[in-house]
Amino acid sequence: MRVFLAGAAGAIGRRLVPLLLRAGHEVTGTTRSAATASELARAGVVPAVLDVFDVPAVMMAVHAAKPAVVIHQLTDLPRQFDEARIAASYPKNARIRTEGTRNLIAAAQAAAARRFIVQSIAFAYAAGREPHAETDPLNLADPVRAVTVKGAVDMEQQVLSASGLDAIVLRYGLLYGPGTWREASSGQKAALHVDAAAHAALLAITRGAAGVYNIADDDGAVSIAKARTELGFDPRFRGP
C-alpha cells in the first residue's frame, strides 16, 4: 500500500519506517533536511523535503506519492531534554497541529487518500476517575499545557470532521525509548515506549474504525481496551 509519512525522521517516524517497509508498504517520507532525505532514500523511502506550512509543496508532494494512507507524525520539539527549550517549543508545535494538519488534510483529500492517521496526546485528560476512556475530556484549562492541549484538540477536530477520510487519532502516552527524551519510563503516567507507538500507527493502516484510540502502557492512567480490541495493539511490542 502507498503510505505518505509526514515526519519520517522524527522519534516515532524513525521507528515506524522499518516497520512499514517490512510490511511491504511503499513509503514516501517527509523531512526538512536534505541530509536526512539521503538517509531515508538509503533506507528505501522516497524522500520529500518540505515545510508543512508551504501549501503548494505539501500538495505537490502528496499528489506525487498517490497515497492510500497519510500518517501525520510531525512535531517541532527539541531532540534533547531541556525544560526551557521544550517550553519555548510549545507554540511552534501547536502550530504544526493546527495549520500543518490543515495543509496535510487538504493534500490528502486532493490526492484521494482513504485513511488519515494522526498522533495526539493521552497524558492531558481532565481530572477524573482513571483509567480515562477516549470519551473523557482533555484538560483545556491546564495552565502548563494549555497551548499544547488546545492545539491537540483543534487537530483532532479537524481530522475527525474531514470529509472523505477515514480518520484515526492515536492518543500517545509520554514517550520513552530510543530517540526520545528518556531511555526508560520515568514512572510518570500515561507512558508509552516509542516502538509500541510506531507499531500502533502500522496497525491503524489496515485495522480499526475511524475514531480516537488511547495508545499507552497498561499503567492504569488511560484505558487501552479499545486499541487492544480494534487495532490489536500491544504495549509490550518492541521493534527488532
Give the residue numbers spanning the domain of 13: 2-121+145-171+194-212
Residue at 180 is within a domain: no
Residue at 236 is within a domain: no
The whole model's pTM is what? 0.96
Residue at 57 is within a domain: yes
Residue at 130 is within a domain: no
Task: Give the number of domains in the chain.
Answer: 1
Residue at 133 is within a domain: no
Residue at 86 is within a domain: yes
**Dist CA 186 CA 65 (whole Å):** 39
**Dist CA 124 CA 152 (whole Å):** 10
The pLDDT of residue 143: 77
**CA dist 145 → 94, 170, 176, 202 (Å):** 11, 19, 19, 28
The pLDDT of residue 10: 95
**CA dist 112 → 69, 109, 160, 207 (Å):** 9, 5, 16, 19
Among 92, 42, 45, which Cα is nearest to 67's?
45
Residue at 239 is within a domain: no
Provide the sign of the torsion angle of the four alpha carbons 136, 153, 141, 197, taken in this order. Answer: positive
Per-residue pLDDT of the chain (240 residues; tens, 9 = 90+): 999 999 999 999 999 999 999 999 999 999 999 999 999 999 999 999 999 999 999 999 999 999 999 999 999 887 877 788 888 888 999 999 999 999 999 999 999 999 999 999 999 999 999 999 999 999 998 877 889 999 999 999 999 999 999 999 999 999 999 999 999 887 888 999 999 999 999 999 999 999 999 999 999 999 999 999 999 999 999 998
Residue at 226 is within a domain: no
* CATH number where 32 lies: 3.40.50.720
